[in-house]
């Protein structure tokens, strides 16, 4: 069972939470992420997960991919040139936005587009999943300029969800592997907060010889706390996107940050177990769909 050693009292946007429970308001989320034709990730995950949590999800596609880039061959169409007009048209029809959730980006200029969204919707919660690297390696479409732009964007996040490789890139440090101490996890979180992120969820601490995977969460006002789950001895693509989408789903459903971190870690763990029962699961990626009922249940008291 996941354990929370204490509960940080962080509520990034408490005023949003009340509405759904009263049935009077549907939160609207701009999901700034790519769309993959094959391989479950990005918008293919964010749209169903956040929709199950009762949100209106408005995709802002940062690229169109034939598949995610872990496959040996893929096609990418960069959508940067359409985004300014795309978002301008929203202004024309008075689309309002409660949260801006960004993930995989296609070009450094897309960070300027996200900043313009922040300006247009100054009260929206900013959740930045700085998708750019894992296991010490930058994803193939990420240039140094794009990594630098992502690092800048991370400083403006209300909720930032890096893995250890991404945290190292943002801080301009060497990646140290996944076996780091509690004190080191806390140092990394404090350094990210020092750069401007309000709340940081540092993911994927996995120590040699242990069968646990740990995530750490901290904010300027709260101490760093750890949430852990059983570590499953295989990896699947898309789990980072499922994690961030579940975290935001729980936040939008009015859960505290500690509950949201607990929910997201348990959901990914359970979805990985379900996936392992399915054919070709290594290739197809994480099967979260059978568990979407757990996301719907976030709206129950
Ligand atoms: N093998 C695993 N066993 C259990 N939980 C996992 C496993 N892999 C990922 N998770 C959960 O999903 C979260 C996101 O993991 P990951 O996909 O590695 O993120 P990212 O794609 O950002 O590197 C982890 O922090 C953990 O809570
Ligand atoms: C196109 C694309 N989108 C999103 C992702 C993020 O996947 P994950 O959730 O495994 O971090 C990747 C990772 O390879 C990718 O190639």
Which ligand 1 atom is at minimum distance from the Cα of 235? Answer: 1
The SS3 assignment for 31 reads: strand
Query: Does ligand 1 lie within 6 Å of residue 103's CB atom?
Result: no
Mutate to test the pocket of ligand 2, among 34, 41, 49, 246 (most ligand atoms within 8 A of CB): 41
The SS3 assignment for 199 reads: strand
**According to the model, what pLDDT value does residue 284 have?**
94
Residue 23 has pLDDT above 80, yes or no: no
**Count of all residues that appear for the chain in the document:** 301
Helix, strand and coil content of the chain, in percent to the nearest 5, comes to 40, 20, 40
pLDDT tens digit sequence for 84-127: 999 999 999 989 999 999 999 999 999 999 999 999 999 999 99
In this structure, whether the domain defined by 26-299 belongs to CATH 3.90.850.10 is answered with no
Instruction: Find the 164 Cα to ligand 1 centroid distance in Å.
Output: 11
Q: What is the DSSP string of 63-124?
A: EEEEE-TTSSS--EEE-HHHHHHHHHHHHHTT---SEEEE---SSTHHHHHHHHHHHHSTTS
Distances (CA, A) of 285 to 73, 139, 277: 16, 17, 12
**According to the model, what pLDDT value does residue 2 have?**
37
d(CA 299, CA 295): 8
Residue 80 has pLDDT above 90, yes or no: yes
Which ligand 2 atom is at minimum distance from the Cα of 67? Answer: 1
Mutate to test the pocket of ligand 2, among 38, 69, 138 (most ligand atoms within 8 A of CB): 69
| pLDDT band at residue 35 using 50, 70 and 90 as cut-offs | very high
**According to the model, what pLDDT value does residue 300 have?**
87
R_g (Cα) of the chain, nearest Å:
18
**According to the model, what pLDDT value does residue 22 have?**
52
pTM: 0.93
What is the 3-state secondary structure of 202-236? EEEECCCCCCEEEEEEEECCCCCEEEEEECCCCCC
- Beta-carbon contacts of 40 under 8 Å, excluding residues fewer than 6 positions away, are 237, 238, 284, 285, 286, 287, 288
Mean pLDDT for 44-70 is: 97
Query: Does ligand 1 lie within 6 Å of residue 232's CB atom?
Result: yes
Residue 8 has pLDDT above 60, yes or no: no
d(CA 151, CA 252): 25
Query: Does ligand 1 lie within 6 Å of residue 203's CB atom?
Result: yes
Residue 18 has pLDDT above 70, yes or no: no
Ligand 2 neighbours (beta carbon < 6 A): 34, 36, 41-42, 65, 68-70, 104, 131, 139, 237-241
d(CA 103, CA 20): 25
List, in sequence order, every residue forming a beta bridge with 137; answer none if it has no partner: 134
Query: Does ligand 1 lie within 6 Å of residue 269's CB atom?
Result: yes
Instruction: Find the 129 Cα to ligand 2 centroid distance in Å.
Output: 11
């Amino acid at each position: 069972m996941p354990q929370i050693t204490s509960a940080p009292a962080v509520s990034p946007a408490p005023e949003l939470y009340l509405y759904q429970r009263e049935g009077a308001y549907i939160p609207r989320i701009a999901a700034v992420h790519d769309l993959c034709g094959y391989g479950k990730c990005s918008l293919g995950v964010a749209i169903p997960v956040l929709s199950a949590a009762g949100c209106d999800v408005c995709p802002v596609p940062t690229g169109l991919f034939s598949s995610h880039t872990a496959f040996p061959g893929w096609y990418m169409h960069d959508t940067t040139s359409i985004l300014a007009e795309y978002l301008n048209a929203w202004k024309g029809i008075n689309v309002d936005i409660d949260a801006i959730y960004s993930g995989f980006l296609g070009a450094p200029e897309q960070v300027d587009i996200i900043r313009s969204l922040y300006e247009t919707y100054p009260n929206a919660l900013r959740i930045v999943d700085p998708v750019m690297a894992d296991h010490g390696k930058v994803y193939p479409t990420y240039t140094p300029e794009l990594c630098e732009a992502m690092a800048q964007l991370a400083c403006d996040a209300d909720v930032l969800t890096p893995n250890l490789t991404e945290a190292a890139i943002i801080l301009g440090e060497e990646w140290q592997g996944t076996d780091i101490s509690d004190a080191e996890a806390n140092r990394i979180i404090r350094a990210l907060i020092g750069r401007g992120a309000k709340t940081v969820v540092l993911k994927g601490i996995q120590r040699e010889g242990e069968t646990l995977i740990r995530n750490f969460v901290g904010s300027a006002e709260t101490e760093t706390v750890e949430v852990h789950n059983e570590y499953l001895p295989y990896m699947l693509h898309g789990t980072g996107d499922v994690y961030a989408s579940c975290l935001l789903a729980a936040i939008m459903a009015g859960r505290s940050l500690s509950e949201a971190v607990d929910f997201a870690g348990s959901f990914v763990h359970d979805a990985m177990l379900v996936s392992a029962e399915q054919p070709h699961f290594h290739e197809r990626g994480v099967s979260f769909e059978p568990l979407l009922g757990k996301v719907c249940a976030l709206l129950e008291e």
